[in-house]
Amino acid sequence: MTESPPALVIGAGPAGLMAAEALAGAGHPVVVAEALPSPARKFLMAGKSGLNLTRDEDAAVFAARVQGGSAPALRAPPGYLHDEELRAIVARFGPAEVSGWARLLGVELFTGSTRRVFPVGMKASPLLRAWLRRLAVQGVELRTRWRWQGFAGEALRFDTPLGERLLRPGVTVLALGGASWPRLGSDAAWVGWLRDAGVDVVSFRPANMGFLVSWSPAMAPHFGAAVKGTRLSAGALSSRGEWVLTRHGIEGGAVYEISAALRDGAAGVVDLAPDLLVEVLTARLAQSRGRLSVGNWLRRVLRDPVRVALLLEWGRPLPDDPAALAALIKALPLRVSGPAGLERAISSAGGVRLGALTPALELRARPGVFAAGEMLDWEAPTGGYLLTTCLATGRHAGLAAARRLGGATA
């Protein structure tokens, strides 16, 4: 059995739902096929600890944090999608537009101290429910447990509760996610089918992830502790945010901020006293510790047992010279053994190479098929950049697909 809907969106995450909204808004009937029993599983999981929708930031500054992942020599020539055009897509539907869109759904927002924008209720589920209601009113048909199984000539093949089905749509938007948190739907099963169709797909790597550490037994009492009042650096990236010690290593916002450079081989360091000049720290360390143990003496200097534990863990043997010890405290090596796996990464790097797409996000090897969201080869830090970029690329692909069908796309 073959159906021919005007517009098909595969994947009911943020990028896919936004593409469906753009297509429906242009007057086209839309079918959304979702492999799982319910939509937007990863979106809901991300919102459990507070849905960071976007960031209160100038659109151009915001978009500059989104980077295409291809090596410079392999980036697209003129006429193909490239980094600058990707950032322009994000800037056109940036923080102000995303916030306005959420408010039109009836979701009240607030901006936190770090300029991150959240729903007042913090959760993703009210926004998703309102969004799905609006899409239903627009006539968007959501089909769950429809798992894409690749191309069958000009058609697309699905495994469904009713058996195999073929769809031959007028246009298709792929919004299949990357490769992180596969149990929530982003399993990258689509990679082989696109490569077979002649699409250049870059292998996935973890992004915004934690790192593995082989801790000594002395660190066990600190597992789960938040590390505050430090600066993490790797390459050109740095962060003053909090991070967490776990049984397996380190994770948290500050780690994610530098994770791309650390993953790609840059040496990481932690400044355990970023608010103290090295000269002031040296003077403190030069004072006699009397009968205090080394640990108690360092706790008096650093005023934090977790930071002292990290110094003793990663800095031994500690130098006797106060100046050398101060320098170590200001640039303690991050002794990590590698990134945590894709299955626990916040996001992934890799996917459809930008050069495989037109500026409309249409696959050059498969006209009429567009791609959006995390399945594209771009990378951005946490803090609202990931979700906003998924929404922006989904909208852009949906509008472009609507133009191909013909119809208003304002």
The pLDDT tens digits of the residues spanning 324-361 come to 999 999 999 999 999 998 888 999 999 999 999 999 99
pLDDT of residue 74: 46
- Total domains in the fold of the chain: 2
Q: Tell me the C-alpha distance between 379 and 386, whole Å.
A: 8
Query: Do 334 and 279 share a structural domain?
Result: yes
User: Looking at the domain assignment, is residue 410 inside a domain?
Assistant: no
Q: Which amino acid type is present at position 316?
A: R
Report whether pLDDT(132) > 70. Answer: yes
Bridge-based pairing of strands 2-3 and 163-167 is parallel
Look up the CATH number of the domain holding residue 143.
3.50.50.60
Nearest C-alpha neighbor of 167 from the set 48, 261, 339, 33: 33
Instruction: Give the domain extent around 189.
Output: 2-207+345-405
User: Is residue 153 included in any domain, yes or no?
Assistant: yes
How far is it, in rounded angstroms, from Cα 393 to Cα 9? 13
pLDDT for the residue numbered 172: 98
Percent of the chain scored above 90 by pLDDT? 79
For the sheet with 116-119, list strands across it: 54-55, 116-119, 109-111
- Token digits of residue 86: 């990707």
Q: What span, in angstroms and rounded, lies between the C-alpha atoms of 43 and 52?
A: 10
Of 339, 368, 389, the last residue of a domain is: 339
Give pTM, 2 decimals: 0.90
Q: What is the model's pLDDT at position 72?
A: 45
Joined together, the tokens standing for residue 401 give 């697909």
239 shares a domain with 140 = no
Domain-ending residue, one of 339, 367, 390: 339
Of 339, 355, 376, the residue at which a domain comes to its end is 339
The neighbouring-strand residues paired with 101 are none
Same domain, 76 and 186: yes
Query: At which residue do the structure tokens 């589920």 appear?
Result: 125
State the average pLDDT over residues 107-111: 95
What is the rounded distance in angstroms from the CA atom of residue 225 to the CA atom of residue 227?
6
